[in-house]
Amino acid sequence: MAQKRYKLSCKGQSLSRKKNCAIVIQSMTSQKLYELERKTASLLLDKLEHQEITLHRAAQIAQYITKALPDNITDNQIDSFIPQLDDTFIELAGIVHTHMKELDEIKSKNIATEAERLLKEHKFSEALSIMNTHLANKL
């Protein structure tokens, strides 16, 4: 797993006025990156425990994940990277499928929200258009 880096910041005060200043620790590692690494590690450990994968193959996968994904990667970059994982490592197909399903659900909710907004504004043709486009892309 990637090491977490932390950023210290002081909101509204200078650091010289420490008694009135709260130091905020924020993880600079993306939550999506953390989740991907956690899910991958859990999957690999489970497969090793059930002897469904060799130690060498698990090490290859873990090494690839940690080298390919820098700590400062954006969520959009992670979303673009994940679908390619099972091209090289079929063992990660479950993670890829789950991620793609979650992205599709989020996209569907966003489109439904946008269509509702357009309907409230009496922009019926625009609402119909985005819904038709979304449904066509799903097929």
* 85 falls within a domain: yes
Specify the pTM. 0.68
- List, for residues 85-126, the tens digit of each pLDDT value: 999 999 999 999 999 999 999 999 999 999 999 999 999 999
The reported pLDDT for the residue numbered 138 is 81
| Under 8 Å between Cβ of 27 and 72 | no
Burial class of 36 by CB neighbour count within 10 A (0 to 12, 13 to 18, 19+): buried
Judge contact between 29 and 5, C-beta under 8 A.
Answer: yes
State the pLDDT at residue 130.
94
> Per-residue pLDDT for 72 more than 80?
yes
What is the total count of domains within the chain? 1
Q: Is residue 68 part of a domain?
A: yes
**1 in a structural domain:** no
User: Across residues 36-63, what is the average pLDDT?
Assistant: 94
Cα 126 to Cα 114, 116, 119, 120, 131: the distances in Å are 10, 11, 8, 12, 9
Compute how many other C-beta atoms are within 10 angstroms of the C-beta atom of residue 71: 15
Distance, CA of 31 to CA of 28 (rounded, Å) = 9
User: What is the residue range of 129's domain?
Assistant: 6-138
Residue indicated by tokens 């909710």: 109
Alpha carbon separation from 86 to 11, 81, 83, 120, 129 (Å, rounded): 43, 10, 7, 42, 34
The identity of residue 84, as a single letter, is: Q
